[in-house]
Chain A
Amino acid sequence: MKFAKYGSITLITFVLFAGISIPLSPTPQNWLQFPVIPGLEEKARNILYHVPVAWTAVVAFLVSMYYGFRYLKTRDIDYDIKSVSAAGLGFLFCFLATITGALWAKFNWGSFWNWDPRETSIFVLLLIYGAYFALRSALETEEKRAALSAVYSMIAGITVPFFIFVMPRIMSGLHPGAKGDSEGAGPVVQMKMSPNMLVIFLLGLLGFTLLFIWLLNVRVRLARIEYERSTHHE
């Protein structure tokens, strides 16, 4: 866990520092310059923060699904704690991806919300996981809550790759990678990252994933103590 803690702190600090301070240049000569992407300019830096956050939400939802599956196999309440903690963090990162994306969209596409396929799919994901927490709070008995939400988290988790990786690619939209994007036509920006930007981007993905692992660990440890105390006092 120390690796996740110090790794995420180091990597995210580096990505913040490098992503903000490396200057843009129309003709990058070396590793300490980012290329100017027409239409994005300085806003291209957003990709180093907005995308890793969205990525972390996907990781968190899949982790939640995995622990839901483990709970159903073993009926060990610890997996339920891990599953709900991961889903909560996934919801947080999903929400952050939505609002950072909305702010970016305002300045690139003209409005905070455009119902682009990816915006629609993340909105549906927020609804799906919002319903997950509503379901949990509606169930009184512990076993029933754990079992039902484990099943729900598995069904919800199966939809995540479809909403994030499949649907936005088979429909035309504003995000890079949408159908027809290879033409680079219209408002769609052809996203070809320079090698130095790509390295920082990948370190960002890793850094935020490690941040998720660290936060999940803290949240699970807290929830375990809460659980032990609640059963102890009954």
Chain B
Amino acid sequence: MRHAMMDFLSQNQMYIVLMIVLLIWAGIVWYLTRIDKRLTHLENHSKKG
């Protein structure tokens, strides 16, 4: 299974480029969700305070 995927990727290199772009996108999304979480935390505190 893993071998087949590696073969597929070596023959269809555009998908490697796609995976690299998606990894960077995932990193930016992760950062955004973290900021979102901290904002939610602040909002909840300001409601109580």
What residues of chain A have their CB less than 8 Å away from a CB belonging to chain B?
16, 19-20, 41-43, 45-46, 49-50, 53, 89, 92-93, 95-96, 99-100, 103-104, 106-107, 211, 215, 218-219, 222, 225-226, 229, 233
Contacts and interface: CB of A to CB of B under 8 A. Distances in A.
Contacts of A53: 24
Contacts of A219: 35
B27 A42 contact: no
Interface of A is mostly: helix
Contacts of A20: 14, 17, 21
Question: Top 5 nearest A-B pairs by Cβ distance?
Answer: A42-B13, A96-B27, A100-B20, A45-B17, A43-B13
Given A42-B17, A229-B42, 14 more contacts: A20-B14, A43-B16, A45-B14, A49-B21, A49-B24, A92-B30, A96-B24, A100-B20, A103-B16, A103-B19, A104-B16, A222-B42, A229-B49, A233-B49
A95 B10 CA distance: 24
A42 B14 contact: yes
A53 to B, nearest CB: 6
Contacts of A99: 23
Contacts of A49: 17, 20-21, 24
Contacts of B16: 42-43, 46, 103-104, 107
6 contacts: A46-B16, A49-B20, A103-B16, A222-B42, A226-B38, A229-B42
Interface of B: 6, 9-10, 13-14, 16-17, 19-21, 23-24, 27-28, 30-31, 35, 38-39, 42, 45-46, 49
A233 B23 CA distance: 40
A222 B43 CA distance: 11
Contact of A92 (B9, B13, B21, B31): B31
Contacts of A46: 16-17, 20
A43 B15 CA distance: 9
Nearest to B46: A229
Nearest to B12: A42
Contacts of B45: 229
Contacts of A16: 21
Given A46-B20, A49-B20, A95 B27 contact: yes
Nearest to B27: A96
Contacts of B13: 41-43, 107
Nearest to B17: A45
A21 to B, nearest CB: 11
Contacts of B9: 107
B30 to A, nearest CB: 8
A222 B19 CA distance: 31
